[in-house]
Amino acid sequence: MESVTIDLPAAGADSRPDPARLRAAMAPAAHAVRSGVLPGAVVAVGDAQGPLLIETLPGPRTKRLRAESLFFLASLTKPIVATAIMGLVDAGRVELHAPIATYVPAFRGPGKDRVTLWHVLTHTSGIRDIHTDVLVSQRPSAARILETVCTAPLDFEPGTRYEYCSSSFVLLAEIMSRIDDRPFPDALQRRVFAPAGMVDTSFDPRHDRSRIVPVEGVALRNVLVRELVLRYLARAALAGGGLWGTAADLLRFGQALLPAVVEKGHGLLSPAAVEQMTREQTRGILEVSPDGATRDPGYALGWGKPRIDGGVPSVVGGGAPVLDSMTTTAADQPAVARTEVPAVARTEVPWSPRAFTHGGASGARLWVDPDRDLVFVFLTNLWGAGDGPMFDVLGGVYEAFDAQRPPVPEGSPGGSRPDPDARA
């Protein structure tokens, strides 16, 4: 394995972290790739001034990995779509607490008149999710998914509990398409990609197949099957988890939500909209597991919140979907060696209460901490990848930032590192 570090624009101001410290923080990810825990990784760090570092860590099966490689973002699509919706709220085009049926009249049935954009963005709508296995095996069109969501009964009274739901985001896509009078991908391009300078993010990465990093841990047995899946994802444009993108684009997206950028009018939203979108919204609303156990999800509007009590951030319902029918076999591709990564001495990640994050089941993660002026991106290509190496790297990145900057004001506690075995 050869690690490739891109030294981006010089730090400049003394308040920016030391590049050498940032490079040293990448060691846990490099070890995870060498050990076979991860097939490969690209890690990026930036602040309001721009990128600070992009580290490329190719493994034996990802030798062509580079900084501009295209990764499947999975559920990291959600905060991008949520930001576009908040832009409509910001502009007075939609109301956060107006019934969905106001904008999508076909969404009707018992209790549905009480489902709002807020419920969809907080996963408290009661809408039943369509399992990933169904998407893979049946490949329903976006129109078919929308019809199913509009006509199926709710599973529970809106706002009474948290249940992670990707399919409900098709309603947000439909609203964007109707208001902008253009296809959803074009509306997302207009409202997020273009203003943020995201040049490589899309639902269709086939324009440059050499840059695509295949997802491991799912069985795509031959080139034809992989092509069919890519074609389906491009056509369906799944608002709950269908984007592909690069580390640099995610840095740009995160940067456009930092206070120093937003307050100058150069961000994607107003300061008030960013504050509303990224603060916890689900306090008092519990997630109920199949065995009856409950937990506080700690979710914002399309974003997860780091948990000060050390619990796992609620970013994809607590775990990646299980694809029983898609399990990788030796005939499909080499199995990932599940060797353990030795624990590091650091067990604390001192995030601030204003930090917000989201991940995807393919191992993608975006983390933004406004109080540190920090944007952190961790990309890998393993379905159900654990968060352990990512949090180890993030802890080192915080150390590099805090070594150069004044400490976070008293009363802004950090959090314990979540369970390394928890899935992104």
What confidence score (pLDDT) does residue 315 get?
Answer: 45
Q: Look up residue 313 and give its two tokens.
A: 């951030």
**Phi and psi, residue 332, nearest 5°:** -90, -50
Instruction: Delimit the domains of the chain by residue range.
Output: 4-416
Residues near 370 by beta carbon (within 8 Å), at least 6 away in sequence: 257, 258, 259, 278, 352, 354, 355
Taking CA atoms, 153 is separated from 24, 138, 150, in Å, by 52, 21, 8
pLDDT at 19: 93
Instruction: Write down the pLDDT at residue 269.
Output: 98
The answer to pTM > 0.85 is yes
Q: What number of other Cβ atoms are within 10 A of residue 265's Cβ?
A: 8
Q: How many CA atoms lie within 13 A of 211 on its CB side?
A: 18
- pLDDT value at position 154? 98
Q: Which of 306, 390, 392 is nearest to 353 (CA)?
A: 306
Q: Give CA–CA dist 292/417, Å, rounded.
A: 25
Cα–Cα dist 68/42, whole Å: 9
Calculate the CA dihedral of residues 349, 355, 359, 364 and round it to 10 degrees: -70
For the record, the structure tokens of 299 come out as 């979710």
Comparing C-alpha atoms, which of 106, 152, 97, 159 is closest to residue 130? 152
State the pLDDT at residue 290. 84
**Contact (CB, 8 A) for 254 and 364:** no
- The dotted CATH code for 4-416 is 3.40.710.10
Could you read off the pLDDT of 365-406 as tens digits, one per residue? 999 999 999 999 999 999 999 889 999 999 999 999 999 766
Predicted local distance difference test score (pLDDT) of residue 136: 73
DSSP, collapsed to helix, strand or coil, labels residue 409 as coil
pLDDT value of position 349:
85
| Phi–psi pair at 358, nearest 5 degrees | -155, 155
Per-residue confidence in pLDDT tens, the chain, 424 aa: 455 544 444 434 468 999 999 999 999 999 999 999 999 999 999 999 999 999 999 999 999 999 999 999 999 999 999 999 999 999 999 999 999 999 999 999 999 999 999 999 999 999 999 987 788 778 899 999 999 999 999 999 999 999 999 999 999 999 999 999 999 999 999 999 999 999 999 999 998 999 999 999 876 655 666 787 889 999 999 999 999 999 999 999 999 999 999 999 999 999 999 999 999 999 999 998 888 898 889 999 999 998 655 444 544 433 333 333 222 222 333 333 333 333 343 446 889 999 999 999 999 999 999 999 999 999 999 999 988 999 999 999 999 999 976 655 544 445 444 433 333 3
The contacts of residue 160 (CB under 8 Å, 6+ apart) are: 124, 126, 285
